[in-house]
Structure 1
């Protein structure tokens, strides 16, 4: 029975997404995600050292979780190029998958934490500013890391070495894909638990927070339209991130538990998760004035080295935005970013600037 079950879970090449498409998505995520996340990580690290605020601490940890995926992507590129086989040393298989799965659920948890921070800033601005402590964000970050890593460490190493298989000596074996019946009895319920606790609950909380933020901001006539648009764009970027990068992969957990087998299309959801590394910098840009300045300065340096008229025209908007931010005007976006500058509140609790 175990042999039959194992064979039924082998992923045939015909059922997989085209190899060229998978490699293209991985390369796109790596080329766009690595420089933007390294720049964001450097900017947040400097900001946290100078003046730590909760939102910057959460975003710094989110950036680090993205770098986990990016450092793992070359392994996935090699695997995809060789038709989903694992030619690398066997001990790298569980290690690489541990980093991969941990980074997925670290991202969902920290995206949830960022949404809660923004909701508190908008819904309860005065109370939140008085009670805001960087220690709370540090404790929450430590809890998220322990929660995600402990779950993924258990499922990857326990399942991979359960009922020892002969994959260690098979040069053309797959990595963490084909399971025996005994392994499936462990991995399928565990995946369902991961989906509910580390994806579904954070997604619901994130939706509630952003819907509430948009509802509150749109009900205030004294808020500039571009500020409301920025808040809506921020919410949409986060929802798209959850829906495109994480939802298909976690839906495969539910389908696999119901069908009591490894879904054949589950492999195709892997390359979608890498798009998280490209979408998160968009979230950073809308949520943090620090990142907007860093990206603006970086773009201006590129433009200053180019004599292209098109590039000079494109630089006009970032330059204008940078001047507005340096003017010291307090905006809703700065408040959402957790600015440490005291904010004058109106009767509604939001600055009129």
Structure 2
């Protein structure tokens, strides 16, 4: 049996923390976007926007949990809520991969990549990511609205209790989700951040403090990938191998939900990092100007 009160409590906690944190981040982003945003800023902006869309549809999942995991609204509303709910999860994972690639290329090819690093490319990449995740999750509409000739009573659950015909389509697609839009981005992130850490430690001119901040950011992103997204995606693998959607899949969505509370910390960490860099740069300029002033 699923303890729907635990699920409801996590949803409410996520909503109360994640919504104001992401609203604060998105407001800050709007100010930054008008002042020559970097590609990383645009990727983080889309990550925050994805989290906000997720949080806006989270009340439907809260309603479902409060009703004892039953759904008394229309199946059309079920498919719409589920579609945006799942689309934003995979959009977030793909955007985290794009952020890792951006940081890796900026570190490995600092001069060449700086010439090619344009906000327009980041915006185009973000649009592609949204389209990829949206196209994949369109399976929700196909599954929910697939005709069932044996159904005599209206369904009282949302996107659960699938028929054998639905499973033949849904479970292989979920397995493809696991391989293509989870494992592949995860492996790319691991490759990028491990190499970033190695490069930072082989460059003696980089300060120890900057190295520690970079490692912290890398570990934060990998932690989100493993703790927040892995359990839910593993349920796809288990479901495909057992030919049945596991009941504990409800619980695997909880870490993915909490991810919306963790993503803003990446943005604020970057803001603090830039403020620290700007303050050190200003101090160096001040010292340099003091040396240039003629002595009396």
For residue 94 of structure 1, the aligned residue among 74, 79, 102 is 79
- The 5 Å alignment of 1:262-341 reads 262-286=245-269, 288-289=270-271, 292=272, 324-327=276-279, 329=281
* 1:328 Cα deviation after fit: 5.3
Q: CA deviation at 1:76?
A: 1.0
Q: Is the 8 A contact 2:75 2:144 kept in 1?
A: no
The alpha-carbon distance between structure 1 residues 167 and 269, as it changes in their structure 2 partners (threshold 3 A), is: farther
Equivalent residue in structure 1 for 2:144, among 136, 155, 160: 160
Matching residue of 1:242: 225
Equivalents in 2 of 1:167, 1:59: separation in Å? Answer: 45
Root mean square deviation, CA, Å: 2.0
Aligned equivalent of 2:35: 50
Q: Tell me which residue corresponds to 1:350.
A: none
User: Structure 2-normalised TM-score?
Assistant: 0.89
Q: For residues 58 and 96 of structure 2, what CA distance do their matches in structure 1 show?
A: 21
**Cα pair distance change 1:328/1:83, threshold 3 Å:** same
Q: Give the C-alpha shift of residue 223 in structure 1.
A: 2.1
Q: Does 1:71 align with 2:23?
A: no
Change (3 A) 1:217 1:168: farther
1:135 to 108, 112, 120: 120
Separation in 2 of the partners of 1:229 and 1:88?
50
Q: Pick from 206, 210, 233 the counterpart of residue 216 of structure 2.
A: 233
Q: Secondary structure at the match of 2:137?
A: helix
Deviations 1:148-184 (A, max 9, x none): 101112x1111111124788963x7110011110000
Assess, with a 3 A threshold, how the Cα gap between structure 1 residues 50 and 91 changes in structure 2: closer, same or farther: same
Instruction: Report the equivalent of 1:148.
Output: 133
CA deviation vs aligned residue, 1:303-332 (integer Å, no higher than 9, x gap): xxxxxxxxxxxxxxxxxx95x4552529xx
Aligned residue among 8, 21, 29 for 1:36? 21
Displacement after TM superposition at 1:45 (Å):
2.2
Name the SS of the counterpart of 2:75 in structure 1.
Answer: coil
Partner-residue secondary structure (3-state), 1:283: helix
- Residue by residue over 1:108-137, the C-alpha shift from the partner in whole angstroms, topping out at 9 and shown as x without a partner, is 110000000000111111111112111211
Change (3 A) 1:218 1:99: same
CA contact (8 A) 2:39 2:119 kept: yes
Q: Distance in 1 between matches of 2:233 and 2:185?
A: 13
The DSSP-based 3-state class of the residue aligned with 2:200 is: helix
Indicate if the aligned counterparts of 2:143 and 2:170 stay in contact, CA closer than 8 A.
yes
Take 1:19 and 1:162, find their aligned partners in 2: how far apart are those partners?
27
Instruction: Tell me the SS of whatever aligns to 1:114.
Output: helix
Going from structure 1 to structure 2, the CA distance change for 1:90 and 1:129 (only over 3 Å counts) comes to same
Q: TM-score under structure 1 normalisation?
A: 0.75
Aligned residue-pair number: 282
Q: Distance in 2 between matches of 1:104 and 1:243?
A: 13
Unaligned 5+ segments in structure 2 are 283-296
Q: Which has the higher helix share?
A: 2
Question: Using the alignment, how far apart are the partners of 1:33 and 1:165 within structure 2?
Answer: 42
